[in-house]
Structure 1
């Protein structure tokens, strides 16, 4: 016998399982009433929590919307107010640069227009910030330059207002541009 034939004739220790494996699907068992009730209560509790979260979100959205509308009504004219403030500055520069020989009726008309613009601003909630002689506050002022403190002016005090500041209700439209005494 040849080596190949001997190898074929020798028995092997391996067990060959040639029977196909059949998986038997078990029928799902019927849940008891208590299990069904527990499952339903769990789903109901989860749904109640979800509803509570959504209700809270709706309340928050309504509050935010109400606040946004109030802010829009209160501060909606902010951009226009800034432009009018610029116009007031232009009128002030024009008035200060007019020669003294200018006709009084022209000066009166220019002053009247300027004053009407300022009245319109004030009527809608804007106000000029009066800071002359006050302690420097960076929230409402912009220091253009500093000068040394003296006996006449305490340190960190506004000495001169170069350009007045403006507020709309509680918001700064434009900080006052000032000269301040230096801090020692």
Structure 2
């Protein structure tokens, strides 16, 4: 398979073709022509036509090169996006696993820890390893705390309730943590938000 032609190679070929056509036109001009032919086609008409054709070919070539460059850039961008965000569906499917492990740990009381300490430690290690794997692939948790200001870009309000001594728009309960994949939101954190405090 031959190497792809460079822009200079293409221009050189076009110029060579034009030069050959100009020589052929000059040879034709040396031949005797009738008076009607010379009246219609002046001595420079053949050269002008070749120059116009060359300019048109050069314009088409430059457009083709620009289009090829745009396709290359678009392909590179699509490749980068596929590399960064291609696993987003799998990541979303793994979030319920994280939620269930977190709920299991939150439900444990001290008597249960005394009875099944080894099992509980295994669940904690599994959750920690899952978070490490998430981190390797650019998945970061969004873990708001009670008292943080509600951010609609990162949080989803599941309910509003008037809470004494809590300003409007503050988080009063965190139900489920959210996650981001690089700079894209995978899932908003599900929270409860304070409304206007009851008087």
Please, what TM-score do these two structures have when normalized by structure 2? 0.69
Q: Deviations over 1:69-113 (max 9, x none)?
A: 111112222222222222111112233345743511111112211
Name stretches of at least 5 consecutive residues in structure 1 with no aligned partner: 1-27
* Alpha-carbon separation, structure 2, partners of 1:183 and 1:71: 43
1:182 corresponds to 2:195: yes
Name stretches of at least 5 consecutive residues in structure 2 with no aligned partner: 1-35
**What is the RMSD computed on CA atoms of the aligned residues?**
2.3
1:52 corresponds to 2:62: yes
Q: Could you say what secondary structure the match of 1:128 adopts?
A: strand
Aligned pair count reads 156
Q: Deviations over 1:113-152 (max 9, x none)?
A: 121111111122111113323332222211111122643x
**Which residue number in structure 1 is paired with residue 49 of structure 2?**
39
Residues 159 and 32 (structure 1 numbering): CA distance in 2 closer, same or farther, change over 3 Å?
same
1:163 corresponds to 2:176: yes
1:130 corresponds to 2:143: yes
* Alpha-carbon separation, structure 2, partners of 1:42 and 1:150: 82
**Which residue number in structure 2 is paired with residue 145 of structure 1?**
159
Q: Is the 8 A contact 1:144 1:178 kept in 2?
A: yes
Radius of gyration: which is bigger?
A: 1
